[in-house]
Amino acid sequence: MSPGQIAESQPSDVPRRPTGGLVLKLALLAITIGVAYSLGYWQNRPSADAEVPVSVPPAGYVGFDPLEIDLGQHPWYTEIPFTATFVNQGAEPISVASVNSSCGCAVLDRASYEDAVVSCGAALELTGTLTVGPIPGEHRKKISVLLSSGAIRTVFLKYVSFNTYASKPRNVQFGEVNLDDDTDDALARVIFTSDTASIVGEPVVDSPWLEVGVHDRGNGETEIAVHVAKRNLPYGKSLGRVTFTTTDRMRPSFTVLAYAQGVSRLRPVPSHVLLRVGQPGEVRFITREGMVARIASVSSDDEGIDVVVDEDGEAVSVTLNVDVLPNAAVVRVTDQRGVRSKFLVSSVR
């Protein structure tokens, strides 16, 4: 078989390898396409100074834009200014009847917006101040606009508040305190914690039956010991307040409330007498069985008052012999059974 016959006998669909010239042409084409793409990208990419496109209210939209304003994070008791934008993309002017907020913490000059007219394609900016409250966490407050048509449009103010210090518990509950037992066992503790603030000065106590001590533990903790002075605690329910001064500029002071209920085998009526000069007072004592007790003896620890048991022994009379008592006087009594009790006397002007 001749060479020509051999070539003609080979299948016609066998792939042929590209020549060197064809490979070079394909490589040049790929490079050209890559360069063109790169030039197009870098010529049309947004520049660093280009403005980010903002959302535009759709045609015919009437309401706030945006519907929620994020005011960020703020410490308690701070004031945050805000601006809410009301837009009118409708075909007719809009008249505002009134503006209201869901809480007293969001304050606006409402009168300045009443009867305001928002023209077509125009906007009305509502400015105000939001006061952050004492409760930490995320909050949402609502501002509503009542239109003359009766429609209501709302916007929400979102913010996160945090405390710069804490005192736990906030209130102290002593429960029943046995006045017949002279042991001083009514004691409670409050822990003040802060990374930035501390307690300064002396606490202010508004009740003679409360005693307070403060001890700095370090590491941002201060222990507050609240003690009931039974000598000055009257029969029945009492509420006392202890106010502390701090270095925190957001909330420079805080108050701890203390509740106690004095109980005794003899109930004085009243348990605390308020007297003016020349005006006598009278106290009777009731047993647990509901009977009037007969008093055998009475004494006072303050020379500014005179106390005496009536002839029938069922009442104690008390009068002032000074203009003012600096502190509440304690009057102690013992009935004919040997049961003891007491009541307090204070002067008023």
Phi-psi region of 77 (alpha: psi -120 to 50; beta: other; left: phi over 0): left
Q: How far is CA 129 from each of CA 66, 82, 96, 101, 118, rounded to the nearest angstrom?
A: 18, 6, 20, 11, 23
**Does the structure show a pLDDT above 90 at 301?**
no
Confidence of residue 140 (pLDDT cuts 50, 70, 90): very high
Q: Are residues 157 and 175 in the same domain?
A: no
Per-position b or e across 284-305, b if 16+ CB within 10 A of its CB: bbeeeeeeebebeebebebebb
* pLDDT cut 70: percent of the chain above it: 84
Domain count, the chain: 3
Residues 252 and 282 in one domain: no
100 and 182 within one domain: no
Residue 268 has pLDDT above 80, yes or no: yes
Task: Write the CATH number for 192.
Answer: 2.60.40.10
Classify residue 157: in a domain, yes or no.
yes
Q: Can you tell me the distance from the alpha carbon of 67 to that of 142, in angstroms, rounded to the nearest whole number?
A: 10
Tell whether 170 and 250 lie within a shared domain: yes
Last residue in a domain, options 243, 263, 283: 263
Which range of residues forms the domain containing residue 76?
A: 62-162
* DSSP summary character for residue 229: -
Q: Domain for residue 288, yes or no?
A: yes
Which residue, of 114, 143, 162, is where some domain finishes?
162
Per-residue pLDDT band for 6 (boundaries 50, 70, 90) equals: very low
In this prediction, residues 73-80 reach a mean pLDDT of 95
Among 138-152, 176-190, 271-285, the least confident range? 176-190
Residue 119: pLDDT over 90: yes
Last residue of a domain, one of 263, 294, 310: 263
- Looking up tokens 């001749």 gives 2
Q: Is residue 224 located within the same domain as residue 133?
A: no
Inform me whether the pLDDT recorded for 147 exceeds 90.
yes
Residue 210 belongs to some domain of the structure = yes
Is 82 part of a structural domain of the chain?
yes
Residue 124 forms beta bridges with which residues? 86
The answer to whether residue 301 is domain-embedded is yes
Query: Does 10 map to a domain?
Result: no
Q: Are residues 106 and 194 in the same domain?
A: no
Q: Is residue 49 part of a domain?
A: no
Average pLDDT for 299-314: 91
Average pLDDT over residues 125-136: 94
Name, in order, each residue with C-beta under 8 angstroms of 314's C-beta and a sequence gap of 6 or more: 284, 292, 293, 294, 295
In this prediction, residue 31 carries a pLDDT of: 45
- The answer to whether residues 170 and 251 belong to one domain is yes
Q: 183 and 154: one domain?
A: no
The answer to whether residue 145 is domain-embedded is yes
Q: Do 180 and 135 share a structural domain?
A: no
Kindly give the pairing relationship between strand 281-287 and strand 295-300.
unpaired
* Residues 298 and 336 grouped into a single domain: yes
Do residues 318 and 247 share a domain?
no
